[in-house]
Chain A
């Protein structure tokens, strides 16, 4: 799942498939992706993982890096 998420970030959000990126890299506070991109990303996650990200879940902690996002998706699917 994490590879898929990273691939999406690289190609769709940053537009650079060649860049180096790890699952623990900070996405938000680093400014790597902005509010528009994270919301587009959430739209993508909702569509591909068939989950609904509730507004109260839209907090930095859940989306700070790919690890946190994968964890969040797992948790949401299980609940």
Chain B
């Protein structure tokens, strides 16, 4: 290549993205743009070559190469290059089109070296009068439009060459014009603030790239396959006709078509992903001006179009939304605005190409776009819509990533898309999901002919075969088949004698005992239906069932019968009382004939209305399940099960009936009288069973213990989602020989109907799949309108077959809604499970959660199961539950404890108690106590401050004393006078000072003979309201008002000091933080400086005081020098007794009695009430704990004060008086996601969050993560969600949505802010003040940040850079500066 003159320039934004993409995939031709033009006529190859050379000479983009200096790319336009078009004459070789295609396909996959020529051209003579021009360019220098520009130019140059006019031909406009233009536009864009810029706003609403057909949402490699289809003449005509319809018409026909295709694509993506918020990527051509339209080079940029699909979306309604989004996209798609961040929201690209190629200089031409078999792997699918040859027939290329979609699916994709497109064309008012995308298909289990034998028949066969085998093993007692049968016969005789008839319902209110088993058998033998009544149920639930089932008999014991209430007339048989009468019955009984449709049991499950519903299970259904289980769950010896789960839960059927029908043993574990049911541990300890059935929650209970000697051979897990991690841990605990089965089955489909044998080696999904249907069972996965979903797409599970229940007892409507006619086959019934599932790649069912547990947050549908699965993938997490919790639910119900040392309540945020019930603040205090003591000074230091200044003249004062009228401030005032200082006492009359307190004030100032002023402001109530809303107390607002007004007085009267009577504990509430003393070399001077800086920020914060009072003086730093605040008790250590005795002896101070409390302020309790209500503890709890810690208060006195009773009526009156209404936002903020996870030790929130970020959408990341040792479990062995602990802090609603931290610095800062502000989920754009930040919080944050980053950051940073984003940028710059300085040194 000749290195003639070179023009160097920067890359455009779009070029940078492609350049980076290529750099990351150096071996892959993913940006090759190759076209072929088949020319059916004679071409003069030398003229063609001359024309091509002229084309290169006149097109700077074709002469562009790229350099890479230290990762900084540059583009270099060379004035001349030695590259031309090749000419190959294959006319003699009689090659066919396939040979040519293969050759060109291979040639199109050649990689370009970015530092060399970036095009490849060849003219091939295939036969006489037939040529193919192949022209490949790297995307860095071209785009679709450019190819048409070059093709047109090539034509005219060839024509000119033929006519000898080549020299006169002009060059194309230079691409450098665009580079300059783009740079200007990009800078304009970048300078725009986040609020002003459309794309920056869109960035915050970006959805996650969808998962299509349950396949990965991004490719692992760039390998891509192009599947092309033609829409055909008829469909193309119909589409063009649609563009004229008033509701579809747009600026141009092309735009209308684009809108139709984008709407269709959105509808299609929704249907194959289930995602409601979707983005697709689409290029903006960026060729606005006529000049750019004639320029060759890379102009296009990809932007997302975002839309949200609602539940009842029609094509028309979606079209309207998409059209508006498209308008906005076009309006704002300025050059240079496309960023890689924006691209994260989409993995599907719609490329609507309106470029066409005409004849080549009169010679007929057919173009083709050669796919290089590679494409950006972030794009799982690209839909290219074009009609290059202007034929009137629209063609579609689906470029699909082959590492994402399997071959079969790849070939199905165009057909699925066409189904949606045709539905749009046919009737756009129809719902987008109204047409099925795939043919109906049921997944069918093994079909066995009818071979029905009732469980009673099977039992009686076993009685003959295994008469002496033990059927029951209970607390050392053993009962063989014969005995059990005789007992069952006696009971059946007894019941029949008392009037039991076939079809009667018999309630069994019994514990897990041999009695129960006999009762079940007796009931069934008599042809009656048994109804299990769990003795752990609440009385109300049992009564409901007794009445709903219309029981004719109730079998129980004397003791248990006392626990049950009912109005129903029925025969109550107390088995222990009636024992003799029963034993006197004959032990022979001829069992009733049991038909398949006869009911065996009615099992009650909780209904959504709260009233239990009775599921009727027939003998046919029961037999079908039990026979399957007996055949498939094989043990080496006779089966020996553990009967330790609840009788009212159909999971237990397996352990009960398997031995009965197969001659095995039931090991019975009776539930305890009271206290937790620990039978599971007993089962494992006794180690008698080889078969166990339980829930995943049971398994989680097992913890770390290993069971290498366990006799268990078969374990059936059911009733809940079974996570992979748990499966692995169980397999390793029990060893490889344990066969673990994951059994899925709603009660309505009899115990278990879909089963998967866990395979530790092959199973890979985070929830163990539930597998395939059992014998004589089938299922379908359908969408909301009962259409089958394509393979891999999630939908509702519908079950059909022999196991279906006969419906709900006495609830016809409910039955008809749940057991529907099979939609696409014969009239048989199919049960609507309410469970969300999908078929995975190996053809097994995956359980995704309950449909009615799907929750929505701000209109977005959230799959809790998906979040749980993602969470469980984190190493160490055994299991998890994600719940939408509201603040109402979070009202504290746990008992509050108080620190044994300081009295701080356990409801104080982030507080931890040790085994001695001492809080962590007390425990760590020891380590820095000596440094805290240094902060305190003595009275000489105090006097010295005054001595340094000239004493006050007659008409002026040495200091202002803030006098509230309480004991502390009264004491301070008296002491100041005693020191001989000239004092002006100042009291804020906030409107709620008690009369007696005012009396005190008047009396004291008269007695001490000091000047006194009452300050007041008409804005007081508004300040109270603001304080209550921001700080949940009244004191913050009141204090600030006092400081503001007294400072004003001090400035006016030239008074240098204002003396406060704050207690030492209050210092820690308002001035000091523990962090200040952490550093071993804590320097008091420095701390004072920090406090002063905090004070400045404090007075400059925008709040009601700043809006309503004159605060102009605080803008001037000088004010803080002119007027200083002195805390009297910093210099004096006085005990409460001393103080009270001083007041008693020297002054006429009387404790006010008219407040009914230990305060002199009537509004105080309103603040405490709100604080307790919203934060769960008194606002005095913290400062008082410090008073105790510092020895100024006893724990008892503190507790007495913080637990003082509140007059709620009076509080309500005061709140109304000042105009405070409870914030309505609370109800919105109430709905937030909380994750509970079980692991050995807590995991840092940051780690959990960053783990989830890659796996779920931002809005699906829980606000709080709560670590649990184990999950609470109900009597059925399932997670008891109501018993989950209440979460602490809830993220407030802030102006902007949550945006996660993007860098390490931001993550560290989020941690610090979260800890200090006690909010669990802080987004990087949340504002410090909106999060409840105060100047004290600012001190904490800065101190901690300084420690983390080893910096000295300015204190006001939390105010001047009020978001994590801005704050971290400052930190980053500071670090960079320091590094540079280090280098310079």
- B-binding residues in A (CB < 8 A): 12-16, 28, 31, 34-40, 42-43, 55, 58-60, 63
Contact A59 B252 (CB under 8 A): no
| Measured CA separation A25–B676 after assembly (Å) | 87
Q: Which residues of A contact B250 (CB under 8 A)?
A: 35
Interface pair A35/B290, CB less than 8 Å apart = no
For B250, B289, B291, which residue has the most chain A Cβ atoms within 10 angstroms? B289
Contact B290 A39 (CB under 8 A): no
A55 to B250: give the CA distance in the assembly, Å. Answer: 11
Q: Which residue of A lies closest to B173 (CB)?
A: A15
Specify which chain B residues have a CB less than 8 angstroms from the CB of A60 in the assembled complex: 249, 251
Is residue B1209 within 8 Å, beta carbon to beta carbon, of the partner chain? no
Closest A residue to B323 by beta carbon equals A55
B1312 within 8 A of A: no
Known pairs A13-B288, A36-B333, A58-B251. 13 more at Cβ < 8 A?
A: A15-B288, A16-B289, A16-B290, A28-B252, A31-B252, A34-B252, A36-B286, A36-B288, A43-B331, A55-B320, A55-B324, A60-B249, A60-B251
A31 to B323, CA, bound (A): 20
Q: Complex Cα distance A58/B254, Å?
A: 16
B254 surroundings in chain A (CB, below 8 A): 35
Q: With the chains together, A15 CA to B290 CA distance in Å?
A: 6
B289 lies within 8 A of A40 (CB): no
* B-to-A contact residues, CB < 8 Å: 249-252, 254-255, 284-286, 288-292, 320, 323-324, 327, 330-333
CB B90 to nearest CB in A, in angstroms, measures: 41
**Chain A residue with Cβ nearest B333:** A36
Listed from nearest, the 6 A-B pairs whose CB atoms lie closest are A15-B289, A39-B330, A35-B255, A39-B331, A43-B331, A35-B251
Nearest chain B CB to A76 CB, angstrom units: 16
Residues of A contacting B330 with CB < 8 Å?
Answer: 35-36, 39-40
Residues from chain B with Cβ under 8 Å of A40 in the complex: 288, 330-331
Contact of B331 with A37 in the complex, beta carbons under 8 Å: no
Chain A residue numbers with a CB within 8 Å of B320 are 55
Q: Are B288 and A37 in contact (CB under 8 A)?
A: yes
Q: What CA separation (Å) do A16 and B290 show in the bound complex?
A: 8
Distance, CA A37 to CA B288, complexed state (A): 6
Q: Which residues of B contact A35 (CB under 8 A)?
A: 250-252, 254-255, 330
Contact A15 B251, beta carbon cutoff 8 Å? no
Interface pair A15/B292, CB less than 8 Å apart: yes
Residue of A nearest to B324 (CB): A55
Say which residue of A14, A55, A59 sits within 8 Å of B290 (CB atoms): A14
Distance between Cα atoms of A42 and B331 in the complex (Å): 7
Which A residues lie within 8 Å of B290 (CB)? Answer: 14-16
* B285 and A36 form a contact (CB under 8 A): yes
Tell me whether chain A's interface is mostly helix, strand or loop, or mixed.
Answer: helix
Partner among B249, B285, B286, B331 whose Cβ is within 8 Å of the Cβ of A59: B249
CA distance A42 to B328 in the complex (A): 10
User: Are B289 and A13 touching (Cβ within 8 A)?
Assistant: yes
- Ordered by A's residue number, 7 sampled pairs between the chains whose C-beta atoms are within 8 Å are A12-B288, A35-B252, A36-B333, A38-B251, A39-B330, A43-B331, A58-B251
Is the Cβ of A36 less than 8 Å from the Cβ of B284? yes
Report B199 CB to chain A, min CB distance, Å: 13
For A55, give the chain B residue with the smallest CB separation: B324
Q: Are A28 and B251 in contact (CB under 8 A)?
A: yes
Q: How far is the CB of B805 from chain A (nearest CB, A)?
A: 52
Q: Closest B residue to A37 by CB, please name it.
A: B288
Give the distance in Å from the alpha carbon of A58 to the alpha carbon of B246 in the complex. Answer: 12
Chain B proximity of A2: nearest CB distance (Å): 20
In angstroms, Cα B252 to Cα A63, docked, is 12
Check A39 against B327 for contact (C-beta < 8 Å). yes
Smallest Cβ distance from A62 to chain B, in angstroms?
Answer: 11
Identity of the chain B residue whose Cβ is nearest the Cβ of A15 in the assembled complex:
B289
Report yes or no: A43 in contact with B332, Cβ–Cβ below 8 A. Answer: yes
Q: Which residues of B contact A63 (CB under 8 A)?
A: 251
Interface residue from A14, A15, A16, A55 paired with B327 (Cβ < 8 Å): A55
Give min CB distance, A72 to chain B, whole Å.
14
The answer for the CA separation of A38 and B1190 in the assembled complex, in Å, is 73
- How far, in whole Å, are A12 and B290 apart by their CA atoms in the complex? 10
Least distance between A1 CB and chain B CB atoms (Å): 21
A63 to B249, CA, bound (A): 14
Closest residue of B by beta carbon distance from A34: B252
Contacts of B284 in A (CB 8 A): 36
Q: Which residues of A contact B292 (CB under 8 A)?
A: 15
Contacting residues, chain B, for A37 (C-beta < 8 A): 288
Given the complex, which residues of B lie within 8 Å of A38, measured CB to CB? 251
Residues of B within 8 A of A13 (CB): 288-289
Q: Are A14 and B289 in contact (CB under 8 A)?
A: yes
- Point out which of B255, B320, B327 has the most chain A C-beta atoms below 10 A from its C-beta: B327
- Chain A residues with CB under 8 A of B249: 59-60
Residues A15 and B291 in contact, CB atoms below 8 Å apart:
yes
Residues of A within 8 A of B332 (CB): 43
Which A-chain residue is minimally distant from B285 (CB atoms)?
Answer: A36
Which residues does chain A contribute within 8 Å of B327, judged by CB atoms? 39, 42, 55, 58
Complex CA gap A55/B327 in Å reads 8
Within the complex, the shortest CB–CB distance from A65 to chain B, in Å, comes to 13
How far, in Å, is B99 (CB) from chain A's closest CB? 41
How close is B185's CB to chain A, nearest CB, in angstroms? 11
> Chain A residues near B251 (CB, 8 Å)?
28, 34-35, 38-39, 58, 60, 63
Separation in Å of the B178 CB from the closest CB of chain A?
Answer: 11
